[in-house]
Amino acid sequence: MAVQKPSIPSGTRDFGPEQMIKRNYIFDTIRDEFKTYGYLPLETPSMEKLSTLLGKYGEEGDKLLFRILNSGDFLSKVPEEKLTVRDSAAVSPVICERGLRYDLTVPFARYVVQHRNDIVFPFKRYQIQPVWRADRPQKGRYREFYQCDVDVVGSRSLIYEVELIQIVESVFTKLGINVTLKVNNRKILYGISEAIGHTDKMMDITVAIDKLEKVGFDNVAQELSVKGIDDNAIEKLKPILELDGDNRSKIETITRVLSVSEIGMKGIGEISAILDYTDVLGINLDIELDLSLARGLNYYTGAIFEVKAKDYAIGSICGGGRYDDLTGIFGMPDTSGVGISFGADRIYDVMEGLGLFPDASKLSTKILFLNFDAVSEKESLKVLRRLRNIGIPSEIYPENAKLKKQMEYANRRKIPFVGMIGEEELKSGTVTVKNMADGSQQKMDLNEIDNFDFGQN
Amino acid sequence: MAVQKPSIPSGTRDFGPEQMIKRNYIFDTIRDEFKTYGYLPLETPSMEKLSTLLGKYGEEGDKLLFRILNSGDFLSKVPEEKLTVRDSAAVSPVICERGLRYDLTVPFARYVVQHRNDIVFPFKRYQIQPVWRADRPQKGRYREFYQCDVDVVGSRSLIYEVELIQIVESVFTKLGINVTLKVNNRKILYGISEAIGHTDKMMDITVAIDKLEKVGFDNVAQELSVKGIDDNAIEKLKPILELDGDNRSKIETITRVLSVSEIGMKGIGEISAILDYTDVLGINLDIELDLSLARGLNYYTGAIFEVKAKDYAIGSICGGGRYDDLTGIFGMPDTSGVGISFGADRIYDVMEGLGLFPDASKLSTKILFLNFDAVSEKESLKVLRRLRNIGIPSEIYPENAKLKKQMEYANRRKIPFVGMIGEEELKSGTVTVKNMADGSQQKMDLNEIDNFDFGQN
C-alpha cells in the first residue's frame, strides 16, 4: 500500500496529552459541581434518526447536520427521476436515515419523552458529550466540539435558577475566572413591548437596547421609528433604554413602565425572587440585569443567563435560561425546565490566555525513576508499586539508556521529580529524590518516600 | 408539526443516570490506574478521512465503516455511468470523504505519525472514546460502544508488558472481579511451527491446541494431518498439545521442543522475563501461559494477553499484546509498542451479573432536604450551600409539595438521607437527619451536619 501522509478532516482536532490534561481539568471541575448539586449523568447516542433532528434547528440548521450514509446498497431505493437530475437535496433523505447529534438539547428532549415513565421528576441531568456541525471551519469554530449542559425539567421552581447561578459561581471560582453573570427575563421583554403597545416588536426593542451604548438615544429612536414604533411609544421606552444603576434601581424603573403588563410584572417578580435568594445565600458573583440579553429569545420563556469573562475579550462562556416547552415537539407538552451550557472551548481559551491552568507538573506524572541497571531497576519497580498503590502517578525509564536521555525524557514530560536508586542507595536502603525545578536533592529511606510531598493537589 | 414517537437508531443506546453512574464507576477506575502508571490522555476526532480508515480492517471491516455524506451538492461529482447503474459501492467513495472511527488503534497510529516530531517517546497514552461499527446489532453487540485503550509506543522494554499486567491486576482488584490473565507469545507459536518444519501452519497448530481439551489428542492429530502436517511433526507436537502443570514446567516442556528455533527461544526468554518480574513484585494475579491464545495473531509480534472473568461466563473482558509495526502503514516503520484494551460493556455485564457495583446510595446524591415552607427552605438552602462547598452531593425538594411526594422523590432517587428543618428545628437551630434505609432519625446542631457521616466513599 502506498504510504499516506496522514491528516484529519478540516474542522476537527486531535487533543494531545497537554491539551487533554487541561481540558479534563475543565471538564472535571464542571462535572464535580454538577454532581455536588445533585445532577445526574446522561449520555445519548452520537447518531439520532434524522426524523428526530430535522426541523429542530431551522432551515440553516438542517443543512448543517452531518448525515450518515445507509449501509449496503443505499442507492437501490432512490427514485429514478431524482437520480437522473442529480437532485442532492431530494436524494439525501433517501440514502441517509441517521445524522450526528447537533446539540444536546434535542436528544435530551427526545430522551425525556421516550423514558417519561421511568424518569423521576424533577429530572436533574447533566450531559457532557461532543456535537457535530457541518459549519465552515474558522478560528474558534469547529465541526466537532463538546457541550456541557446541565438542565432540570419538570418543575417551575425558581430554586433551580438559583442553583444554576450557584453552579456558575462555583465553577468559575474554582477555575479562577472572574466573570459577570448577565440575567434577563423573557417575560420582562414581552411586558415592555406590551406596555408600549407593540408586542410584535419585542425583538426590535431588544436589539435597540443593545445598540444604545454604541450609537446613542437619538439614533436608536430613529431606528425604532423606522421599524414602525410611534413616537409616543418611544417616549415611554426612554427610561428602559437609559436604564442605569444597580439591579434594584433598574427593577424599580422597569416596574414603573410595565406595571400595566401582567406578564411583565410576573417577570419582575421572578427576577426579584432570584436576586433575593442570591442575597440571602451571599452568592459571590457579579450579577447584572441586562435587558439587551436575548439569546434564544424564541426558545426561552423566563430567566435568561449569560456569563462573560471580565479579563479576557471573548464571547459568552456560558449561557442558558428557562424554557416551557422543550418536549412539546415530541408530544409531551407543558414540561418546564431550566438549564445552562458551559462553552468548554472558550473557557479553555480564556484560561490559556490568562495563564490560569495549574502547572503541568501538578497534573501529570509526579516522579520518574532512572534506570541504572537490572538491580536498581527491580528495586525501583518495588518502590513504584508502593507509590502507585497509594495513587501517586509515577514511572520508570524503561531501559538503561544514557542518563542524559533519561533526564531529557523527564524534562520534556515535565515530570517534577526524579528518583534514583544507584549503587550507594542500594547499599544503604535509600532513594535519592531530585527536584527538577530547583535541582535540589534529598536522600531518604526507601519507606519514607511514601510520605514525600510530591505537590499533589 | 406532526407528533413523532421518538426512538433511537437500532444498535445504539441511551445511558440513563443509573447506568451512567455505574459506567462512570468503571471508566473512572480504569482511567485512574492509567494515570497512576504515567499514561497520558489522548482524544482523536470522531471522524477520520476515509483514506485513513479504508484498508486497515480487511474487506469486511471496510464494509462496516459508517460513512458521512459530503455536505452540499454531493451528487455533482459522481460519474454518470456509476449513477445510472446505481453502483452503490462505486458511488460511495465519491459522495463520502469521511467515516466514523472504527477503533482507537488506527487513529492512534495516525496521530503518532502525524505528530512524531512533538511526541516524547516512549509515548504512553490512554484513550477512552466511542467507536462505531455498522455491524448487525445483536445481544452484546452494538453499533456504538466505548473502547478503553492503553498503549506505549517507541520502546521494546518488557517493563511495559509488566506495567500492563499490573494495571490489569489493579483494575480488576478495585472492581472486585476475579480474573485469570492468559498470556502467550507470538514468537513461541512461530518457534513451534518452525521446530516441526511447518512455519506456514502456525495458525492451524494454534487452533489445534485450542481444540484439544474438547476433542482429545487423536481427533486433533487427525485434523492436523488433514491440514498437511506429517506424522513425524505431529509426534513432535505431542508434548506441546498435552502441555500441563504450572507456567514454569510448561516453559521447560516448550523449551525442549523449540530449542532449535532462535525466534522461539526469544519468545521463551520474553515470557520468562515477564514472569520473573511478576514474581519479584509479588503480583497477585492468576497468570496462565496458554498456547492456544492467538487473538490478532497477524498483528501481534510478541506478548499476547487476554483476561477472563473466573465467576461469570462471558468472552474476554480485556486483551492486547505487543506489535512491532503499528505505524508502518502511515510511513513510519519500526515503531514497537504494546497495549491492552478494556471491554467496558462486558465488564459492566460481569459486575451487574455478580452484583459488584457499589450501592446506588454510595454513588449519588447523599441528602435531600424537605421543603416545608419559605423559611425552612431558606435555612435549608444555607445548609446546602455549606455541604456543597465541602463537596457533599445534596439537594432540596424544589417546592412545598405534599411530604409523601417529597419522600417518594428521595426513595425513587435512592437518596440515603433526608434533612428536615421544620418549625421545631428552626427554633432550636437544629436539623433532623433521617436515614432512609433504617428509618432512624438524628437531631443535630446546624453546624454539626458538616461532619455527619453520609457514607462517602
B365 interfacial to chain A (CB closer than 8 Å): yes
Chain A contact set for B364 (CB, 8 A):
40
Chain A contact set for B66 (CB, 8 A):
47, 68-69
Q: For cell 531518604, what's the residue? A: A444
Selecting from A47, A281, A365 the residue whose C-beta is nearest the C-beta of B12 gives A47
Of A330, A329, A335, give the one whose Cα is nearest residue B5.
Answer: A330
Chain B contact set for A23 (CB, 8 A):
43
Which of the four pLDDT bands, split at 50, 70 and 90, describes residue B210?
confident
The residue among B88 and B238 whose pLDDT is bigger is B88
Q: Which regions of A36-143 does DSSP assign to beta strands (E)?
A: 40-41, 47-49, 67-69, 96-100, 123-132
pTM, two decimal places: 0.94
Give the distance from residue B196's alpha carbon to the nearest chain A alpha carbon, in angstroms: 33
User: Which helix H or strand E contains B395, and what residues bound it?
Assistant: strand B394-396
pLDDT at residue B360 is higher than 80? no
3-state SS class at B147: strand
The residue among A64 and B293 whose pLDDT is bigger is A64
Of A199, A226, A223, give the one whose Cα is nearest residue A211.
Answer: A223
- Report the distance separating Cα A114 and Cα B144, nearest Å: 19
Q: For cell 416545608, what's the residue? A: B372
- How far, in Å, are A155, A160, A174, A321, B365 from residue A124 at the CA level? 10, 10, 22, 15, 11
CB contact under 8 A, A399 and B159: yes
Give the distance from residue A277's alpha carbon to the nearest chain B alpha carbon, in angstroms: 8
Q: B239: cis peptide before it, omega within 30°?
A: no
Burial code (b: 16+ CB inside 10 Å, e: under 16) for B165-202 equals bbbbbbbbeebebebebbbbbbbbbbbbbbbbebeebb
Selecting from A86, A329, A368 the residue whose C-beta is nearest the C-beta of B76 gives A86
The stretch B320-332 carries a mean pLDDT of 91
Give the distance from residue A65's alpha carbon to the nearest chain B alpha carbon, in angstroms: 9
Q: Do B356 and B382 form a contact (C-beta atoms < 8 A)?
A: no
Phi, psi (5° rounding) for residue B222? -65, -45
Long-range contact set of residues A90-97: C-beta below 8 Å, sequence gap at least 24:
A91/B75, A92/A67, A92/B69, A92/B74, A93/A50, A95/A69, A95/A70, A95/B69, A96/A50, A96/A67, A96/A68, A96/A69, A96/A70, A96/B69, A97/A49, A97/A50, A97/A68, A97/A70, A97/B9
- Residue B227 cell numbers, joined: 491440514
CB contact under 8 A, B159 and A86: no
CB contact under 8 A, A396 and B122: no
| DSSP label at residue A138 | B
B398 interfacial to chain A (CB closer than 8 Å): yes
Residue in A with minimal Cα distance to B162: A381
B411 interfacial to chain A (CB closer than 8 Å): no
Segment 125-154 of chain A within 8 Å of chain B by CB = 125, 130, 132, 134, 144
Of A453, A424, A259, A238, give the one whose Cα is nearest residue A362.
Answer: A453
ipTM associated with this complex: 0.94
CB contact under 8 A, A280 and B378: yes
Chain-wide mean pLDDT for chain B?
93
- Residue B40 cell numbers, joined: 497520558
Strand A286-289 relative to strand A179-185, pairing: parallel
Of B122, B131, B171, give the one whose Cα is nearest residue B335.
Answer: B122
Beta-carbon count within 10 A of A10 CB: 11
- The phi-psi region of residue B429 (left if phi > 0; otherwise alpha if psi is between -120 and 50; otherwise beta) is left
CB contact under 8 A, B159 and A280: no
CB contact under 8 A, B20 and A42: yes
Chain A contact set for B5 (CB, 8 A):
331
Residue in A with minimal Cα distance to B385: A281
The stretch B262-280 carries a mean pLDDT of 97
Give the distance from residue A331's alpha carbon to the nearest chain B alpha carbon, in angstroms: 5
Which residues does A142 contact at the CB level (< 8 Å), separation at least 6?
A: A11, A12, A13, A345
pLDDT at residue B361 is higher than 80? no
CB contact under 8 A, A115 and B396: no
Residues of chain A below pLDDT 50: 1, 457
A348 interfacial to chain B (CB closer than 8 Å): no
Encode pLDDT of B52-66 as tens digits. 999 998 889 999 999
Burial code (b: 16+ CB inside 10 Å, e: under 16) for A258-290 equals beebebbbbbbebbeebbebbeebebebebbbb
Give the distance from residue B303's alpha carbon to the nearest chain A alpha carbon, in angstroms: 17
Beta-carbon count within 10 A of B207 CB: 16
CB contact under 8 A, A12 and B47: yes
At A457 the pLDDT is: 45
Give the distance from residue A338's alpha carbon to the nearest chain B alpha carbon, in angstroms: 13
Q: For cell 473466573, what's the residue? A: B310
Give the distance from residue B33's alpha carbon to the nearest chain A alpha carbon, in angstroms: 8
For chain A, the straight-line distance linking the first and the last C-alpha, in angstroms and rounded, comes to 49
Selecting from B36, B110, B381 the residue whose C-beta is nearest the C-beta of A391 gives B36
The stretch B221-249 carries a mean pLDDT of 89
CB contact under 8 A, B92 and A74: yes
Segment 57-96 of chain A within 8 Å of chain B by CB = 63, 66-69, 71-76, 78, 83-84, 86-88, 91-92, 95-96
Selecting from A3, A111, A124 the residue whose C-beta is nearest the C-beta of B331 gives A3
pLDDT at residue B87 is higher than 90? yes
Selecting from B20, B44, B398 the residue whose C-beta is nearest the C-beta of A159 gives B398
Residue in B with minimal Cα distance to A46: B144
Phi, psi (5° rounding) for residue A256? -60, -40
Pick from A1, A18, A29, A40 the residue to mutate for testing the B interface (most B CBs within 10 Å). A40
At A207 the pLDDT is: 81
- Report the distance separating Cα A52 and Cα A101, nearest Å: 10
Q: B122: cis peptide before it, omega within 30°?
A: yes
- Residue A237 cell numbers, joined: 421606552
Q: What is the CA angle A179-A185-A189, rounded to 5?
A: 125
- How far, in Å, are A15, B153, B303 from residue B324 at the CA level? 25, 9, 11
Selecting from B111, B157, B368 the residue whose C-beta is nearest the C-beta of A399 gives B157
Chain B contact set for A280 (CB, 8 A):
378, 381-382
- Report the distance separating Cα A290 and Cα A287, nearest Å: 9
A454 interfacial to chain B (CB closer than 8 Å): no
Q: For cell 440553516, what's the residue? A: A60
Chain A contact set for B322 (CB, 8 A):
none
pLDDT at residue B282 is higher than 90? yes
- Report the distance separating Cα B105 and Cα B27, nearest Å: 19
At A41 the pLDDT is: 97
- Report the distance separating Cα B414 and Cα B52, nearest Å: 47
Segment 267-286 of chain A within 8 Å of chain B by CB = 277, 280-281
CB contact under 8 A, A395 and B36: no
- How far, in Å, are B288, B296, B342 from residue B313 at the CA level? 18, 22, 17
Chain B contact set for A118 (CB, 8 A):
16
B226 interfacial to chain A (CB closer than 8 Å): no
The stretch B362-383 carries a mean pLDDT of 94
Q: What is the 3-state secondary structure (H, E, C) of B49-93?
A: EHHHHCCCCHHHHHHCCCEEECCCCHHHHCCHHHHHCCCHHHHHH
Q: For cell 453573570, what's the residue? A: A181
- How far, in Å, are A61, A334, B346 from residue B447 at the CA level? 52, 40, 45
Q: Do B287 and B179 form a contact (C-beta atoms < 8 A)?
A: no
pLDDT at residue B457 is higher than 50? no
A395 interfacial to chain B (CB closer than 8 Å): yes
CB contact under 8 A, A3 and B330: yes
Count of pairs with CB atoms under 8 A, one residue in A, one in B: 280
Selecting from B1, B281, B399 the residue whose C-beta is nearest the C-beta of A157 gives B399
Q: Do B271 and B185 form a contact (C-beta atoms < 8 A)?
A: yes
